[in-house]
Structure 1
Amino acid sequence: MSSSHDFDFFHGEWQVRNRRRTDFLDPDSAWEEFPATNRCWPLFDGAANVDEIDMPHLRAKGATLRLFDRETGQWSLNWAASRSGTLFPPVVGRFDGNRGEFYGDDTYDGKDVRVRFVWSGVSPAGARWEQAFSVDGGETWVTNWTMDFSRPPGSTAVAP
């Protein structure tokens, strides 16, 4: 069951290995890989957090605001991109153990897409995030971006 402390593992600094498809909707498109750094800090005694990722390869940064809704027991993940200055529609969901699934609706390249974020392998030392899009209402998915998070040498998790 989800709780307001599901993302406590994510507080602090991270090194990030990104893999993303060159075409987010084509399951046969090539993958590109690049490093990034990330920093996350808690808000509202753990019931919210914000992080910023720096991706020099893309000449871009991104930020996510995560909010826990105590009534529904769900998180909303709200992504903003530095290049466009856009706040994208949220994905909403919850954790079951150390795996979280979050869903939302958006558009990509002029097409309506269902969006899925999955957090897995969650621990104080590492985690994996992946993004997938569906153009058929969730019948099939194209995983188009993964991030593998690991702590930089000498870094530790931030206490909530």
Structure 2
Amino acid sequence: MESTATDPQRRNLLQAAAATLAAAGPLSLGSAKAASQPPAATGKPGDFDFLSGEWRIKNRQRKNGVWESFEGEATVFGILAGRASIEELRIPQRNFSGMGLRLLDPEKKLWADHWVNSKSGVLTPPPAWGSFVQGVGTWDSDDQDGDTPIIVRGVWDRITPRSCRWYQAVSRDQGKSWEENWLMDWTRV
């Protein structure tokens, strides 16, 4: 899954995608029932500056109760004076790529975290909403697993200049308990 685009070309493509989404109009918070408490309104420009750059990622994903490990990589750009962050995730081993788009709502002081799978090319609704508190970023969104309502939580933590971690967990009991299903350890290239 080698990209033929140069870094400036990739950046231009990612910026164009973000501009298209921004032009679509304002985003709403959607359902507020995702977490037992609403996310802290602490979002500010520059919260995702730590993520800009080139990364190698060690993934562990749980599928059907079994943990699988695989490598990945990402390129991340901050734009709009720190109010947006665009991530291109690539997992060559799985012939997979996608784009994370994080946008700050400055009035609500919350970040919307959107995902676009390269196979579909469309935003996966709804976005997760969240912010950072004391160096840990938490994003929740409501979803469904068949007929069961679930909460999907993404967390950024262990942030240093050279590394960080993102993990995902799911709750099937309205946030009383959580089961991790994806861990990503990021190392700066």
Normalised to the residue count of structure 2, the TM-score between the two structures is: 0.73
Which residue matches 1:143? Answer: 180
> 2-side partners of 1:102 and 1:59: how far apart?
27
Q: Which has the higher strand share?
A: 1
Which residue matches 1:31? Answer: 67
- Gap regions ≥5 residues in structure 2: 1-41
* Equivalent position to 1:20, from 61, 70, 81: 61
Shift of 1:107: 2.4
Inter-CA distance 84–111: structure 2 relative to 1 (3 Å threshold): farther
Shift of 1:4: 1.3
Cα RMSD over matched residues? 1.4
Query: Helix, strand or coil for the counterpart of 2:81?
Result: helix
> 1-side partners of 2:108 and 2:56: how far apart?
32
Q: Which has the higher helix share?
A: 2
Structural mapping, 1:41-52, within 5 Å: 41-52=77-88
Asked if 1 retains the 8 angstrom alpha-carbon contact of 2:57 and 2:186, the reply is yes
Shift of 1:113: 1.7
Which residue matches 1:26? Answer: none
Which residue matches 1:76? Answer: 112
Matched, 1:105 2:146: no
Matched, 1:2 2:38: no
> 2-side partners of 1:7 and 1:87: how far apart?
20
Which residue matches 1:129? Answer: 166
> 1-side partners of 2:121 and 2:147: how far apart?
18
1:23-52 deviations in Å (ceiling 9; x for gaps): 3xxxxx111000001000011111101111
1:45-64 deviations in Å (ceiling 9; x for gaps): 11101111001222211111
> 2-side partners of 1:84 and 1:3: how far apart?
31
Query: Relative contact order, CA 8 A, sep 6+: which one is greater?
Result: 1
Identity %: 37
> 2-side partners of 1:65 and 1:134: how far apart?
24
Normalised to the residue count of structure 1, the TM-score between the two structures is: 0.86
- Gap regions ≥5 residues in structure 1: 24-28, 153-160
* Equivalent position to 1:54, from 86, 90, 97: 90
Shift of 1:110: 5.2
Q: Which of 93-102 and 79-88 deviates more?
A: 79-88
